[in-house]
Amino acid sequence: MKKIFCIVFFLLQGLLATSQDSLAHLMTKPIKVFHHGVGVGLGYSTGGGFSYKYTYKRIGAQINFSYGKGRSSVSFYTDDYHTRTSNGLTLIYILVDGSPYSNFYLYQGNHYYYSTLKTITTDSKNQVTQVSKSSSYTFTSGVGLGTEIILFKRIGFNLMGGYALYFKGNKPDQLNFTLETALHFKF
């Protein structure tokens, strides 16, 4: 699966590069390159949620953030209250600048995920009998290759793949393949 993904990824990148060269001769008017982008991002090592991306020349950064609260009833007398926060910071170094059509880059992503759970148990008279709280956090750091394909002048679609190291507490837990994606409106 990984080999197939890598082969398709590099073939797509090569196809984009050759099609851009042929289109460049047809273009007489220079196209503006946008440095800022806002949108949504999702990934294990980049975080998930609202996203802001900034690139200047060959260096860039992407920040992802999300916050959520929820309530679920486990049973008739038990309610769970969840709070989740996802913060991501990704550093980008552009290897092949195909502006304004696409970019091929190296990324290093960091993701901090924090969640809390508060469980409230009541009796048949709706009196609180037990309250328990717990929290957990994970940190993920990943590195890999990515591409940004510019659609409709101002829409950038990012697809990244690499390896991520997952930490539970302060200890490394696992090293795994990871996929990341983002969609940005560029300005």
Nearest residue to 85 (alpha-carbon basis) of 139, 126, 125, 34: 139
> What's the confidence (pLDDT) of residue 22?
47
Query: What's the predicted TM-score (pTM) here?
Result: 0.75
pLDDT band at 170 (very low <50, low <70, confident <90, very high): confident
pLDDT for the residue numbered 25: 46
How many whole angstroms from its chain centre is CA 122? 39
**Domain count across the chain:** 1
> Is residue 62 domain-resident?
yes
> Is 6 within the bounds of a domain?
no
Which CATH number is 58's domain given? 2.40.160
Share of the chain above pLDDT 70, in %: 81
Q: What are phi and psi of 80, to 5 degrees?
A: -110, 135
Residue 1 included in any domain = no
pLDDT value at 16 more than 60? no
Q: How far is it, in rounded angstroms, from Cα 34 to Cα 49?
A: 22
Confidence of residue 26 (pLDDT cuts 50, 70, 90): very low
The answer to whether residue 43 sits within a structural domain is: yes
Q: Which residues contact 9 (CB under 8 A, 6 or more apart)?
A: 145, 147, 159, 161
Give the angle subtended at the CA of 160 by the CAs of 158 and 163, to the nearest 5°. Answer: 165
User: What domain range includes position 122?
Assistant: 39-186
Asked if residue 50 is part of any domain, the answer here is yes
- To which residue do tokens 């009541």 refer? 122
pLDDT at 30: 59
The whole-number average pLDDT for the span 122-151 is: 90
Query: Average pLDDT in the 142-154 region?
Result: 93
Buried b / exposed e along 131-165 (16+ C-beta atoms within 10 A): eeeeeeeebbbbbbbbbbbbeeeeebebbbbbebb
The reply to whether 95 falls in a domain is yes
CA-closest candidate to residue 143, choices 176, 173, 104: 176
Nearest to 53 by CA among 45, 65, 44: 65
Lowest-pLDDT range of 36-40, 122-126, 132-136, 171-175: 122-126
Q: Each residue of 41-61: pLDDT tens digit?
A: 999 999 999 999 999 989 999
pLDDT digits (tens, 9 = 90+) for 92-132: 999 998 877 889 999 999 999 999 999 888 888 878 888 88
pLDDT higher than threshold 60 for residue 15 = no
> What is the C-alpha separation between 49 and 44, in angstroms, rounded?
12
Is 14 among the domain residues? no
Instruction: Establish if 11 belongs to a structural domain.
Output: no
pLDDT value, residue 29: 55
